[in-house]
Amino acid sequence: MPLVTTKEMFEKAYKGGYAIGAFNINNMEIIQGITRAAKKLNAPVILQCSAGARKYASHDYLVAMVKAAADETDLPIALHLDHGPDFETCKSCIDGGFTSVMIDGSSLPYEENIALTKKVVDYAHAHGVTVEGELGTLAGVEDEVNVSAEDASYTKPEQVEDFVTRTGVDSLAIAIGTSHGAYKFKPGQKPQLRFDILEEIEKRLPGFPIVLHGASSVNQEHIKIINEFGGEMPDAIGIPEDMLRKAAGMAVCKVNVDSDIRIAMTAALRKHFAENPKHFDPRQYLTPARDLIQEVVEHKIDVVFGSTGAAN
Ligand code: G3H
Ligand code: 13P
Ligand code: ZN
């Protein structure tokens, strides 16, 4: 099946009370781990890459591998630019086969965010590509940008109608307490999300798809494996799965996951090398890494986001 935009998948997800998993990709094994899970569960999926991933793997390789996955699985798969930093990067992805882009103007002053987002929307829509914008700032690390918890700010519900109307975006990423990376809450801190803000946004934008970034849950078993086999990850606390499930039943139609895949891959590799110190064939050590990614994604699709069987 050719790659699809996010339009139809979000309409169905909103009505069906579930969310689409949007998983970050950097290489073939990650793409295969994700799409094998989606295939097994007959679930639509978004494969997204950051500007950093595009630099690492190169645009053409990523597009070719994602197209191969869409052909092989026959699933609705969108290829999405995650955290597009500027118009030029978005244009290059739109021109080069992506079906969806995010323009991240969240750190700009409000009017500049609107102007930049609208410029991307005008170009994207003229080329049949959907656009995600962002209002509010998440804490954490994306590429080289590190936003401290003090500088993070929740989305202001009173701005969302104006932003969506004036930019024409197809979906909106909001900040309600999630953050990027593995360390979302301090040890001992009780994870909390501002569902009151999400509810208020939902009321102001009925039927409009909302996106949650920084939504990894951080599997404690995987952290334990990493540390048992030579890693040194401090206590890491993610977003509880029941909170993500609740958000997926509300206006949240897209949930972004990167760190959980990184952690799974690292755990599988560390364990494999510790148990098989003589191995040096990449197929031997990348197989358990790909399998564990698949397991993580299956769990999210089935138990957390509720998108099993939603591909048709
Ligand atoms: O939100 C950011 C994603 O986790 C991508 O991270 O920019 O290091 O590829 P990256
Ligand atoms: P995590 O770091 O929580 O996986 O978030 C990823 C993300 O938001 C990608 O845009
Ligand atoms: Zn993000």
Check pocket membership of 134 for ligand 2, CB cut-off 6 A: no
3-state class of 100 per DSSP?
strand
Span 215-222, average pLDDT = 98
The answer, yes or no, to whether residue 310 has pLDDT greater than 70, is yes
Flag whether pLDDT at 259 surpasses 90: yes
Residue 148 pLDDT > 80, yes or no? no
> Does residue 100's CB lie within 6 angstroms of at least one atom of ligand 2?
no
How many angstroms separate the CA atoms of 3 and 79, rounded? 7
pLDDT for 144 equals: 61
Q: Taking Cα atoms as reference points, which of 149, 217, 139 lies closest to residue 180? A: 139
Q: Which is the closest atom of ligand 1 to the Cα of 56?
A: 9
Note whether 69 and 32 are within 8 A (CB).
yes
Residue nearest to atom 3 of ligand 2 (CA): 214
Q: In the predicted model, what is the mean pLDDT of residues 114-132?
A: 99
Per the CB < 8 A criterion, the answer to whether 130 and 170 are in contact is: yes
152: Cα separation from own chain's centroid: 19
d(CA 206, CA 202): 6
Half-sphere exposure of 68 (CA within 13 A, CB side): 11
CB 41 within 8 A of CB 52: no
* Active-site entry in 60, 74, 82, 143: 82
The mean pLDDT value for 229-246 works out to 96
Atom of ligand 2 nearest to the CA of 212: 8
Judge whether 82 counts as a catalytic residue: yes
In tens, the pLDDT along 21-55 reads 999 999 999 999 999 999 999 999 999 999 999 99
The residue contributing the CA closest to ligand 1 atom 8 is 143
What are the structural domains of the chain?
7-305 (3.20.20.70)
Q: 3-state class of 170 per DSSP?
A: coil
User: Residue 83: CB within 6 Å of ligand 1?
Assistant: yes
Name residues with Cβ closer than 5 Å to ligand 3, which is an ion.
Answer: 213
For the whole model, what pTM was predicted? 0.97
The token pair at 78 is 């969108």
Ligand 2 probe mutation, 185, 239, 257, most atoms within 8 A of CB: 257
> What mean pLDDT comes out for the span 275-292?
98
